[in-house]
Chain A
Amino acid sequence: MVENPLWVALIVGAVLMFITLTGMAYMTWFERKVLARFQDRLGPTRTGPFGLMQPLADAVKLLGKEDLVPASADKWVFLLAPIIIFMTAIVGVSVIPFGGEISIFGFELNLFAADVNVGALVILALGSVGVYGIILGAFASANRFSLLGGLRAAAQVISYEMVLALSLVGVFMLAGSLSLREILVAQQDNLVFDVFGLSISLPNWFILSQPIAFVVYIIAAVAETNRAPFDLPEAESELVAGFHTEYSGFRFSLYFLGEYINMIVISLFAATLFLGGTDGPFAQDIWGLGVLYLLAKAVLFLFFYVWLRATLPRFRFDQLMGIAWKVLLPIALLNVLFTAFVRLISNGEITVPGWAWLIVAGVAIGALLLSLAGERTRSDHSRPAAQAGD
């Protein structure tokens, strides 16, 4: 474990928090702009050049609103809930490694607040605690729509958290560590293939060795952050605003902040785990380039979030649960099994003849197709009108 002195860690943490909050503010601007382009509009233009002052205007507006507490609400829980979701969201940034050792003004310091040796699990744990912000806020509001949103959030987060964790197991196996810094280091090697005498060198990013895990992770991460098309806890067409129906002013904006910071943390996390984090061409040579690479990869994920929101309609709740338990969970488990197998073989602990590979691959693909086909026929049977309407 690599450590900063305590005071350095505190300063780095404070700077990271400041950057994250600013990033969150401009994430809302980014989302509105991109969404507007998808819908053939311009988005915010009036506040400053390209509407860049819009987040400031929003913040002032939200601060100026009245902080209402419903008369029948459970007051202390109602006041506590938004703080939980905001706190847990922002702590997640502290374990993301933004780079190795650098020297500023003669000080040697590491570009992360803390290198926890179970860093990846810390982010998962923070996500699972953060859901209390939703559940308790929904319960304390004494509102049926809020309660329904909270129930949905509870079921959704429990299901998708498991999928999220299982999708990462393959990465942990390949990296041999739960520390995000060591996962980053493991991805800085080169992956060299010899194809017909031609030597191909690829970066050892885990998206190349764990593509299935990557896809499962992306889907589960969208559900875990309650974003469209999995935003059922706040489905406005059914539940008014879901769990935050009764919140106003700055308490509402804490929920808002929490959601966007969660997105940023999950994107940075995904970039670190699957896309090599700070790795990239010349990242070792030029100072500061690594951080830019990491941020660029995170923005790629954030754009993907907005793209999904602009494109896909919301799922039904039973579809949401069905995807998690019947599709993603078996795929993630198979991926873990397969990765463990490959790991054992590459370590030379077991040897397998070539024909056995074909059988294994055939059985795996067959099982997958069968389960998908079974899923298809069942859903057709239960919804005959889905085909008929044209």
Chain B
Amino acid sequence: MDWASLAFYLIATVCVLSAAGVVISPNPVHSAIFLILCFLNIAATFVLLGAEFLAVAQVIVYTGAILVLLLFVLMLVDTEKLPDFHTGQPVQRVVGLILGLILLLEIGAAIVARSIEGQPGSASRAEVEAVGGNTQALGRVLYDDNLLAFISVSLVLTVAVIGAIVLALPDRVRGTNKQRGTGTINLGHPVGADGTPLALPQVRGEAPIPPMAPGTLRPVGADRRIVMVSDPDTYNTVGQHEEPLPDLGDDDASRRSLAGRQGEGTR
């Protein structure tokens, strides 16, 4: 046995064991870690086959991007609330077992039919060396011979991403000024959580704010100017009235509401 086959058997063993770990491990994050190990070992197999570019692409795409996204989702989900897939219904277990056996038989039949040695591909080693290595050979196949197919696949994937974003958009962004059933607390548009309009003091030089119907939202900045406190004693409206407004008296309520609207501005 030479070094290459020894390395292959080591890598293959770790790969199969970690693949088993993905299925057996009760914790989804541990499953993901086993999957990372499995992918890294697949990349190592590519290196043994002399396909360095494929190996690195495997690590960057699968290990580096897809599994990071998977872990991202897993971290946001409360793992205790996930459906427990190891104590499923008896029906599920039986059906799963049957399907797994069928898949195993299919793969086994494919291996037996093609012989375990594997078939040589369409490109020989000499052909690959002639264009300067497997990276160049792969580039020629993808971007010269099958350019149309490659671009079509890219386009389909882009459309899929845009579609996913459109589907995931919340209603209030997709629709225009949709009225919602519940009111929220918003300092700039003072409607209490219970829908009762708050009493707003009038800022001099502005039209009084009409009370809003309970449970409605107004688009941000519809007919209010943002008030900034640049000095504790003088109030400026943004951009429009440069001169300080005369003092508003010592009414605490008005101060508070102004401070509230300042909070809205800096949010």
Contact = CB atoms under 8 A, between A and B. Distances in A.
Nearest to B262: A385
A388 B239 contact: yes
A10 to B, nearest CB: 15
A interface, over-half SS: helix
B60 interface: yes
B interface, over-half SS: helix
Contacts of A121: 53, 56-57, 60
Interface string B64-102: 110011011011100000000000000000000000000
A117 B33 CA distance: 28
B68 A135 contact: yes
A338 B247 CA distance: 60
Q: A124, A125, A138: which has the most chain B beta carbons within 10 Å?
A: A125
B33 A118 contact: no
Given A125-B64, A131-B64, A74 B76 contact: no
A384 interface: yes
A302 interface: no
A25 interface: no
Interface stretch (A147-155, A195-203, A232-240, A362-370): A147-155
B67 to A, nearest CB: 8
B52 A118 contact: yes
Given A125-B60, A128-B65, A139-B75, A77 B29 contact: yes
Contacts of B76: 151
Interface residues of A, number: 35
Contact of A128 (B59, B135, B262, B266): B59
B36 A132 contact: yes
Nearest to B238: A388
Interface in A111-125: 116-118, 121-122, 124-125
Interface string A352-390: 000000000000000000000000000000001101111
Given A118-B135, A150-B75, A151-B76, A384 B68 contact: no
A118 B54 CA distance: 10
Interface in B195-251: 221, 226, 228, 230, 236, 238-239
Interface in A177-218: 178
B265 interface: yes
Interface string B110-147: 00000000000000000000000101000000000000
A337 interface: no
B174 interface: no
Q: B27, B30, B133: which has the most chain A beta carbons within 10 Å?
A: B133
A80 B33 CA distance: 11
B45 interface: no
A384 B238 contact: yes
Contacts of B41: none
A178 B135 contact: yes
Contact of B265 (A116, A127, A151, A385): A385
A384 B29 contact: no
Interface residues of B, number: 34
Contact of B63 (A129, A139, A385): A129
B266 A385 contact: yes
A205 B228 CA distance: 51
B75 A147 contact: yes
B60 A151 contact: no
Contacts of B64: 125, 127-129, 131, 158, 161
A332 interface: no
Interface in A12-30: none
Contacts of B72: 135, 151, 154-155
Given A139-B75, A157-B68, A388-B228, A77 B33 contact: yes
A157 B67 CA distance: 13
Contacts of B36: 132
Given A157-B68, A384-B265, A136 B60 contact: no
Contact of B52 (A116, A129, A139, A388): A116
Given A139-B75, A178-B135, A384-B226, A124 B60 contact: yes
A127 B230 CA distance: 46
A385 B68 contact: no
B221 A384 contact: yes
Contacts of B30: 77
Contacts of A117: 52, 133, 135
Contacts of A127: 64
Interface of B: 27, 29-30, 33, 36, 40, 52-53, 56-57, 59-60, 63-65, 68-69, 71-72, 74-76, 133, 135, 221, 226, 228, 230, 236, 238-239, 262, 265-266
Given A125-B59, A128-B68, A129-B59, 7 more contacts: A77-B33, A125-B56, A128-B59, A129-B63, A139-B29, A158-B65, A384-B238
Interface of A: 74, 77, 80, 116-118, 121-122, 124-125, 127-129, 131-132, 135-136, 138-139, 147, 150-151, 154-155, 157-158, 161, 165, 178, 384-385, 387-390
16 contacts: A74-B29, A77-B33, A80-B33, A117-B133, A118-B135, A121-B60, A124-B60, A128-B64, A135-B71, A154-B72, A384-B226, A385-B226, A385-B262, A385-B266, A387-B238, A388-B228
Q: Which 3 A-B pairs have the closest CB atoms?
A: A128-B64, A385-B265, A125-B59
